[in-house]
């Protein structure tokens, strides 16, 4: 049986354990480079949130230990249970109130699609926005977090955006039974941060004088390109299908690609999450996106993010080159990106060609090609490069090897020495695009790269990406539309319905 001094020291130990972690800040420099929020000028949002939960729990344990000096364990247990029950009921009530149905930004649902043979149907999961809506948004191109780069210039001028959805929940202003062209892709095809008339599929339609139906939707991967084409694209009887690949997200690997390979007796090596890992990920997601947690996170960001946001950051010279200026001089436009987007370009040709991300994606595109061939549809793949892929060759001579190495080290470990790393990185920037080009050439699929024109326009001072966002500006969409229309018509005229 513990004595009163033992409970006293135990209580003091719990009390100290709730205080000590606050003296250890997060890596603020890394948070700035990653465009993450910094609270009170020293903590990541995740670390602060964990401390906010952990500290009261430890202090409650201290109170319990202290109370055991003068009360029985049964009394302390009853009071603690009553307190926890009251808190749980209050949190549950707030969560229920926060879940009062509101219109979601996106809808995912399963659809049944008939295949070639009567009675044969497949289940496809598709994603779209709420149908028949019009959203008016103002986008301010500024750093996401209050604490940002030591030098954070103004971004692209503020833009007013209109986003209109049709009866299917996709971004189209016309309602026809058939279209000459169908486009598929993620947010770069749907047109994140630009208005309805500025999206590249609309611009391509005007240039080619063809009807275009845009099935692009934010947050999807090649799995959805196939399922959406099958569910909504083919019924529109297009003669041509454009599918945009964005190298920033589309090479992470697709479960459907693995399934397609396994169905043909081939196994694709890749990450397979264990059951405990999947359960842990489900619990994390379930908690992270509850109304209560989201409300608290937003409150922390808005109330605590600006505090000490301008304080000095040791080692900030690592980020002194970011955002990069193009072209250098008083008329420069600025481009910022995170270390992860730079490191994703650091592939050798052989390693990327054999990676799970690429191989599974290629399997999906083989099925898309076969589907288009069955329907007599011309398939054209449009390649969308990430921001550092476009920008880095234009600024490499103005960024030291040490700066580049330190920046990439926030995301990758065991990098070679700075000079060697810089040479390898610059040489490998085009690796993913080269592998994709080779694959589609071997498959007999038309391939259009937009890298060169985006780089040309950026070098000339035309801002094709937003400064603090990964997406294209209206100028970027215009450049892409020009490259697509010019390449398509030079190679082979598009058929009209």
Q: Are 314 and 391 in contact (CB under 8 A)?
A: no
Please confirm whether the linkage preceding 385 is cis (ω < 30° from 0): no
Of the candidate ranges 176-185, 243-252, 280-289, the one whose mean pLDDT is the lowest: 280-289
Contact between 472 and 201 under an 8 Å Cβ cutoff? The reply is no
Residue 88 pLDDT grade (very low, low, confident, very high; cuts 50, 70, 90)? confident
pLDDT band at 457 (very low <50, low <70, confident <90, very high): very high
Task: Indicate if the pLDDT at residue 495 is higher than 70.
Answer: no
Q: Report if residue 22 sits inside a domain.
A: no
The pLDDT value given to residue 21: 92
User: Is it the case that residue 496 has pLDDT exceeding 60?
Assistant: no
pLDDT score at 90? 73
Instruction: Tell me, yes or no, whether 467 lies in a domain.
Output: yes
Residue 97 lies in a domain: no
What pLDDT is recorded for position 89?
Answer: 75
Helical H segments across 177-269, by residue range: 187-190, 200-208, 222-228, 255-263
Segments forming the whole domain that contains residue 427: 131-273+318-491
In tens, the pLDDT along 63-82 reads 888 787 777 777 767 777 77
pLDDT category at 280 given cuts 50, 70, 90 is low
Tens of pLDDT, residue by residue over 90-114, are 766 766 666 666 667 888 888 877 6
pLDDT at 94: 66
Task: Mean pLDDT check: name the lowest of 7-21, 122-136, 162-176, 458-472.
Answer: 7-21
pLDDT at site 125: 87
The four Cα atoms 83, 87, 88, 89 give a dihedral, to 10 degrees, of: 100
Per the structure, the count of domains in the chain is: 1
> SS3 string of 270-320?
CCCCCHHHHHHHHHHHHHHCCHHHHHHHHHHHHHHCCCCCCCCCCCHHHHC
pLDDT digits (tens, 9 = 90+) for 341-356: 999 999 999 999 999 9
- Please write the tens of the pLDDT for every residue from 294-316: 788 889 999 999 999 988 888 88
Give the model's pLDDT for residue 104: 76
- What are the structure tokens assigned to 210, written together? 């063809």
Yes or no: say if 313 and 149 are a contact pair by the CB < 8 Å rule: no
The pLDDT, as a whole number, for residue 1 is 46
Give me the CATH number covering residue 424. 3.40.50.1110
Q: Tell me which residue of 186, 164, 189, 167 sits closest to 176, measured CA to CA.
A: 167
Q: Is residue 384 in some structural domain?
A: yes
Mean pLDDT, the chain, as a whole number? 88
Note whether residue 253 is domain-resident.
Answer: yes
Which residue is it, tokens 């054209």?
Answer: 380
* ∠ Cα 312 313 314 (to 5°): 115
Q: In this structure, which long-range contacts are made by residues 409-418, counting pairs with CB atoms below 8 Å and at least 24 apart in sequence?
A: 409/339, 410/29, 410/30, 410/33, 410/34, 410/339, 411/338, 411/339, 411/340, 411/342, 411/343, 412/339, 412/343, 412/346
455: pLDDT strictly greater than 70? yes
C-alpha–C-alpha distance, residues 184 and 244, integer Å: 6
Residue 261 has pLDDT above 80, yes or no: no
Q: Highest-confidence range of 72-86, 120-134, 274-288, 419-433, by mean pLDDT?
A: 419-433
Tens digits of residue pLDDT in 164-193: 999 999 999 999 999 999 999 999 999 999
Name, in order, each residue with C-beta under 8 angstroms of 289's C-beta and a sequence gap of 6 or more.
none
C-beta separation of 245 from 436 below 8 A: yes
- Rounded Cα–Cα distance for residues 341 and 382 (Å): 20
Find the helix packing angle between 45-67 and 291-304, rounded to 10°: 110
Q: What is the pLDDT of residues 393-422, one digit of tens each?
A: 999 999 999 999 999 999 998 999 999 999
Q: What CA–CA distance (Å, rounded) separates 484 from 479? A: 9
Query: Distance of CA 172 to CAs 133, 249, 273, Å?
Result: 11, 24, 38
Confidence tier at 253 by pLDDT (50, 70, 90) = confident
54 part of a folded domain = no
Q: What is the pLDDT of residue 491?
A: 58
Distance between CA atoms of residues 452 and 458, nearest Å = 10
Mean pLDDT of 252-264: 72
Q: What is the pTM of this model?
A: 0.89
Report if residue 297 sits inside a domain. no
Question: What integer pLDDT is reported at residue 119 of this predicted model?
Answer: 64
| Domain annotation covers residue 233 | yes
Residue % of the chain over a pLDDT of 70:
87
């Amino acid at each position: 049986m513990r004595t009163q001094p033992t409970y006293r020291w135990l209580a003091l130990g719990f009390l100290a354990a709730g205080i000590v972690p606050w003296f250890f800040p997060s890596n603020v420099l890394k948070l700035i480079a990653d465009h993450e929020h910094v609270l009170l000028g020293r903590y990541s949002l995740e670390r602060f949130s964990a401390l906010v939960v952990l500290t009261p729990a430890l202090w409650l344990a201290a109170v319990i230990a202290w109370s055991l000096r003068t009360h029985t364990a049964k009394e302390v247990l009853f009071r603690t249970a009553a307190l926890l029950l009251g808190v749980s009921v209050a949190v549950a009530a707030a969560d229920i109130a926060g879940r009062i149905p509101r219109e979601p930004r996106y809808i995912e649902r399963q659809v049944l699609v008939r295949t070639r043979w009567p009675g044969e149907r497949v289940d496809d999961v598709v994603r779209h926005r709420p149908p028949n809506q019009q959203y008016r948004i103002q986008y301010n191109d500024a750093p996401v977090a209050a604490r940002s780069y030591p030098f954070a210039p103004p971004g692209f001028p503020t833009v007013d955006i209109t986003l209109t959805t049709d009866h299917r929940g996709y971004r189209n202003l016309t309602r026809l039974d058939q279209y000459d062209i169908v486009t598929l892709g993620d947010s770069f095809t749907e047109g994140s941060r630009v208005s309805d008339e500025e999206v590249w599929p609309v611009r391509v339609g005007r240039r080619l004088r063809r009807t275009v139906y845009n099935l692009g939707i934010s947050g999807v991967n090649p799995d959805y390109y196939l399922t959406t084409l099958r569910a909504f694209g083919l019924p529109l009887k297009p003669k041509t299908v454009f599918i945009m690949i964005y190298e920033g997200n589309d090479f992470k690997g697709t479960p459907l690609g693995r399934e397609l390979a396994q169905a043909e007796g081939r196994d694709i090596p890749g990450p397979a999450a264990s059951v405990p890992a999947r359960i842990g990920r489900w619990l994390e997601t379930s908690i992270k996106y509850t109304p209560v947690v989201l409300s608290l996170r937003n409150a922390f960001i808005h109330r605590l993010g600006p505090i000490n946001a301008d304080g000095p950051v040791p080692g900030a010279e690592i980020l002194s080159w970011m955002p990069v200026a193009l072209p250098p001089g008083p008329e420069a436009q600025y481009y910022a990106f995170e270390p992860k987007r730079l490191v994703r370009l650091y592939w050798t040709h052989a390693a990327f060609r054999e990676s799970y991300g690429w191989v599974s994606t290629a399997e999906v595109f083989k099925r898309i090609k076969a589907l288009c061939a069955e329907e007599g549809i011309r398939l054209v793949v449009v390649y969308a490069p990430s921001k550092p892929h476009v920008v880095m060759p234009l600024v490499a001579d103005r960024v030291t090897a040490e700066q580049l190495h330190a920046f990439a080290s926030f995301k990758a470990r065991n990098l070679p020495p700075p000079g060697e790393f810089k040479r390898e990185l610059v040489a490998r920037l085009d690796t993913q695009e080269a592998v994709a080009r080779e694959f589609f050439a071997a498959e007999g699929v038309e391939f259009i790269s937009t890298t060169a024109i985006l780089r040309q326009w950026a070098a000339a001072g035309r801002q094709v990406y937003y400064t603090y966002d990964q997406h294209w500006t209206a100028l970027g969409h215009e450049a892409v539309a020009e490259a697509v229309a010019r390449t398509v018509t030079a190679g082979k005229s598009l058929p009209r319905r």
